[in-house]
Amino acid sequence: MTNTKLLLTALAFGMLSGTVTAQQFTLSGSVMNGFHEQLRNTDLLLKNKQNQSIINAQTDTSGKFKIRLDKGAYTLLITQLGKKYYEKSIELNGDLDLGIITINNDILLEGVVLNGQKQLIERKTDRLIFNVEKSAFATGGNGLDAITVTPGLQVTNETITMLGKSGMGVMVDGRIMNMAGDALISYLKSIPSSDIKSIEVITNPPSKYSAEGNSGLVNIVLKKSRTDNWSSTVTTSYQQGKYAQQSSSANLNYKKNKLSLFSNLNYSYGKYYGQEELEIKYPETYWHSDKQYQYKINALSGRIALDYDISKRLQIGAMYNGSLSLPITEDFDSSLQKTSASANQYYTVGRTERKRQLHTVNFHTVYKIDTLGKQLNADFDFFTYRDNSDRNFNLSSNTDDNSESRNQNNAFQNIENYSVNLDMDHPLKFIKLNYGARFSFSKTVNDLYSDLQQVGFVQQDRFTYQENTQALFFSGEKEMGKKKNWSAKVGLRIENTQLESENVFIQNKNNTDYLKFFPTAYLQYKPTENNTISLDYGKRISRPSFTNLNPFRIYGSPFSYWEGNPSLMPSYTHNVELNYIYKDYLQSVVYYEKIDNMFGGIVLLNNDNVTQRITQLNYAEGQTYGLRQTYVYKKKKWLESYITGYLGYQKAKSNIYPLTPKEMEGFFSMISLSGNFLISKTISTGFNLLHRFPNKSIDLVENKTNTLLDFYFKAKLWNKLGLVLSINNILKEYQFNSTSERSGNTTYTNGYYDSRYFRLSLNYSFGGQLNVNQRSFRNQEERSRTN
């Protein structure tokens, strides 16, 4: 811990010393066109003597600007969308007012023409940028439509995934959204695509972001908001599969003077159908289980955020996010146990009622130390999550004299976390620095009571788990070469973790602590305007969810139960990715991924060769080699199409052989095709097709082929009312269909969860267009593990 304290002391000294600035003066002026009209939101760029870009700014709504600078020589450039309008050398020895700068109208018109050549896909040092305004598919749509066609992302049944990643976080203007599931989808639908400037895909997140999970980040960059304005969107949708679902949401954005407000309310109600089939071939016994589920949805979530500008340099704010969910699951299981001598049929009828509550509060401060980009962000977060689960089920069979037996599982989980995050942007003349620290403290309490008459099992216990983490991070980014066509970025995140778990009733306590380093590195080369090559590396950690650490047994039936593992350890992933982009329609990605100490659910058999135990183990080491190719066709004004091919080879080696196969390896591939047909400026239709070929996956499972086909129709009426009709999973494919081997026995599983449905969505927007700055909750990592 001594080294950690020294690092924290050095970091604090660096932040404090960063606030000491040289003597500064004010550079001011205003920008107009030839008709004496103010040019608002026009880009300003200042370069130093070494021709290095040191500050980016914009004119305000009246075309004026005011910038604080150190004494010295500078070059001022006025640009818009990459077009240079004006350039002037400046010697700053005191406050300087440039007066009115007039831009010739002919130059402005030329800039409009050049704007049409902006590329659809671009690449920065550590991320891919998809310029939404250049996509005909996204025109007139919403945020979810834009994400659907972003290279590297995939939307299936309104679930967003990043190709090649096990998870993904969504940010708006650089801040992680504390939303998931229906609430996130509803929010994305409420953002008009016309309000989105670009979408950034970050497959290897830099060191300033949490190292948790083999996951990427998606950042939605909104266009500049206008002051003294407000906007609101009301959305409602109806979905019909086997059963019906409804959802409604409302969003309000408000900004006046120094106050910004964002609020969101979402409610979902209905139910959907599920089906799972399990077949196990034991040496002397055959087992077949057919389960039917009915999931009832009843969820309310809300969010409100406030920001206030105390001054041009200091902003404070707060945000609350809460949700209440009351899901109910009713299930029926028909199981056949067959031997050479007999055949027994068992029937299990169950009902699970849950009450889940989440409350999150964030307080934040942004202090702009100077106009050169030096900025300190401070966040304090607190969240509490509670989950009450009551499950009761009855068992009957064709052989019992007693018709049925009653069984119950009652569980309670309470998770609390608070965290502090400090983040400093510190640009220097020769390098851009970012550094900071994060402190996180989590405590989980689990209570359980089980009474299973069928097997004579009674259990009552309390399990507590505490996890504290301290992290330091820093990175440096620099442009190189005479033409600035080389750029590099390196970073390091250091995380120190202390764990303590305890079974209260049996007084069993375990303690663990570890210090880990997570480096990141990026290199980019742009030989010509149409070619970009980049290479990056990152190491990440995947910690078990709090639920997976819970050792209690949760029975689904007398023949199957789930239990967590308090000894479960994190896994570590090394990612290497080589990117090539040609113009704005071709992207090639070659990647390598290595996972150490991989963990997950393993189905094991008890000594009776009948009862299944599903537990969590660190079971394998894995490697993946992959190639992804994306082609964008947009040569016709009425057609825009995206084609992505995915080919790879993966292999895994078991750490728990012979419970699983000793090793498994093989090829995997998939292809996706989407087409958008523009009927008019306000009406379009299209389809999404995804086909996965059979493969042997890294989790030691063989997966069968899978084809998903969706259709949609979009229309914009009266410029305010949006209508979307979609039909999902037309071919009614199963979500999973696989074969695996556990303890030498072959298992076949498949599952379907009412994914074939049609949905009608309506959204109505009114008020002025406004995008309020969004804040993130810095304890997103811990909340994502609440399950």
pLDDT tens digits along 670-699: 999 988 898 887 888 989 899 999 998 888
Q: How far apart are CA 159 and CA 710, in angstroms?
A: 13
Give the pairing type, strands 639-654 and 663-678: antiparallel
Report whether pLDDT(246) > 80.
Answer: yes
Q: How far is CA 449 from CA 385, 386, 554, in A?
A: 20, 17, 9
> Is residue 477 a contact partner of residue 125, using CB atoms and an 8 Å limit?
yes
pLDDT at residue 180, as a whole number: 62
Q: How far is CA 210 from CA 207, 215, 488, 691, 711, in A?
A: 7, 10, 21, 33, 37
Instruction: Tell me what the mean pLDDT of segment 615-632 comes to.
Output: 91
pLDDT tens digits along 335-383: 888 888 888 888 889 899 999 999 989 999 999 998 778 899 999 999 8
- Which residue would you say has higher pLDDT here, 331 or 49? 331
- Torsions phi, psi for 17 (to 5 deg): -65, -25
> Is residue 500 a contact partner of residue 510, using CB atoms and an 8 Å limit?
yes
pLDDT at residue 697, as a whole number: 84
pLDDT at residue 48, as a whole number: 82
Instruction: Tell me what the mean pLDDT of segment 631-658 comes to.
Output: 89
Report whether pLDDT(99) > 60.
Answer: yes
User: Could you tell me what percent of the chain has a pLDDT over 90?
Assistant: 31
pLDDT at residue 405, as a whole number: 60
Quick one: tokens of 710? 């969706």
Quick one: tokens of 559? 């023949």
Under CATH, which architecture does the 128-783 domain have? Beta Barrel (2.40)
Quick one: tokens of 22? 């040289």
pLDDT at residue 112, as a whole number: 35
pLDDT at residue 498, as a whole number: 94
Which of 520, 491, 493 is closest to 437 using CA atoms?
493
pLDDT interval class at 306 (50, 70, 90):
very high
pLDDT at residue 286, as a whole number: 86
Report whether pLDDT(71) > 80.
Answer: yes
The region that residue 207 occupies, defined by phi over 0 for left and psi between -120 and 50 for alpha, beta otherwise, is: alpha
> Which DSSP symbol is given to 428?
-
pLDDT at residue 727, as a whole number: 93
- The domain ranges of the chain are 2-117, 128-783
pLDDT at residue 778, as a whole number: 55
Under CATH, which architecture does the 2-117 domain have? Sandwich (2.60)
Q: Which of 13-17, 321-325, 779-783 has the highest mean pLDDT?
A: 321-325
- Which residue would you say has higher pLDDT here, 458 or 46? 46
pLDDT at residue 109, as a whole number: 41
pLDDT at residue 134, as a whole number: 75
> Is residue 87 a contact partner of residue 60, using CB atoms and an 8 Å limit?
no
pLDDT tens digits along 539-584: 988 888 777 888 877 777 777 788 888 888 889 999 999 999 998 7
Report whether pLDDT(401) > 60.
Answer: no
pLDDT at residue 38, as a whole number: 72
Report whether pLDDT(113) > 50.
Answer: no
pLDDT at residue 297, as a whole number: 92
pLDDT interval class at 456 (50, 70, 90):
low
Burial letters for 696-723: b for 16+ Cβ neighbours within 10 Å, e otherwise? bbbbbbbbeebebbbebebbbeeeeebe
Q: How far apart are CA 481 and CA 525, in angstroms?
A: 10
CA angle 315, 173, 52 (to 5 degrees): 85
| Least-confidence region, from 57-66, 719-728, 762-771 | 762-771
Q: How far apart are CA 604 and CA 599, in angstroms?
A: 15
pLDDT interval class at 14 (50, 70, 90):
very low
Quick one: tokens of 57? 């700014």
Q: Point out which residues pair with 415 in neighbouring strands.
A: 385, 444
Coil, helix or strand at residue 195: helix
Report whether pLDDT(130) > 80.
Answer: yes
Q: Report the chain's mean pLDDT, rounded to a whole number.
A: 82
Report whether pLDDT(533) > 70.
Answer: yes
pLDDT interval class at 477 (50, 70, 90):
very high
Whether the model clears a pTM of 0.95, i.e. scores above it, the answer is no
> Which DSSP symbol is given to 548?
G
Report whether pLDDT(25) > 80.
Answer: yes
pLDDT interval class at 524 (50, 70, 90):
very high
pLDDT interval class at 277 (50, 70, 90):
very high
- Which residue would you say has higher pLDDT here, 316 or 214? 316
Report whether pLDDT(468) > 50.
Answer: yes
pLDDT at residue 380, as a whole number: 94
86: Cα within 13 Å, side-chain hemisphere: 22
pLDDT interval class at 282 (50, 70, 90):
confident
**Which residues, in sequence order, are CB contacts of 245 under 8 Å at separation 6+?**
238, 239, 268, 269, 270, 271, 272, 297
pLDDT tens digits along 709-753: 999 898 888 878 888 898 999 999 988 899 988 777 888 999 999
- Torsions phi, psi for 643 (to 5 deg): -120, 125
